[in-house]
Amino acid sequence: MPTKVLDLYDKMEIEPNAATLSILFSASAQIRNDRAKTIGKRLLGKMINYDQKNIAVFNSAIHMLMRFLDVKGAEDVFDLIKEKDIYSYGAMIKGYNDNGKYEKALNLYENMNVKPDAIIYELIFNSCAQLSNNRAKIIEQLRYFPREFQ
C-alpha cells in the first residue's frame, strides 16, 4: 500500500496539501528505500512553506527522518517548530531510542515544556533500560515515575 501512495504522488499534477504531505511522509517512512528517501527529502522543501499550526506535518516529517536514520535532519525539523506538542516530543524521543541515542532522549525529556503522557513515560523507561547506567537508574527511580502512577 505505501508504494501505491508514492506511485499516485508521482502522477499528481498539483502540489500536495498538509494532509497529503503527512500521508506521503508516512508512506516514505514505511518503505525506506532509495526512491522513498528521495521523495521524502524532496517533500521536506515543500513542508517549510506550511503554517506552524499544522504541526502534524512537521511531526510526520520527524518520524520519517528518524526512520531514514537522519537524526540531524529530524532535529532540524524539530527546531523549526515554535510551539511543540506532546506528539513532537514523542516523535523525537522514539526516534532517538530507535537510533540508539538514549542520552539524547533523556536530555530532551528533561527539557520538555509540555506535560508528559503515559507514552512519553514508556519511551523514557525504555531509554533508561537501554542505558542501564547510574544516571538512568536514578532517573527511573526518582524522577521519571510520576506521583500519579505511584
75-128 pLDDT, tens digit per residue, is: 999 999 999 999 999 999 999 999 999 999 999 999 998 999 999 999 998 898
| Domain end (from 47, 74, 101) | 74
| Domain end (from 74, 94, 116) | 74
Is the model's pLDDT at 16 over the cut of 70? yes
Report the number of distinct structural domains present in the chain: 2
Q: Which domain holds residue 97?
A: 84-150
pLDDT of residue 131: 83
Are 43 and 93 in the same domain?
no
Q: Taking the model in full, what pTM does it have?
A: 0.85
| CA dist 119 → 91, 124, 128, 140, 148 (Å) | 11, 9, 14, 15, 14
| Domain end (from 40, 74, 108) | 74
Residue 127 lies in a domain: yes
State the average pLDDT over residues 44-56. 77
Residue 79 lies in a domain: no
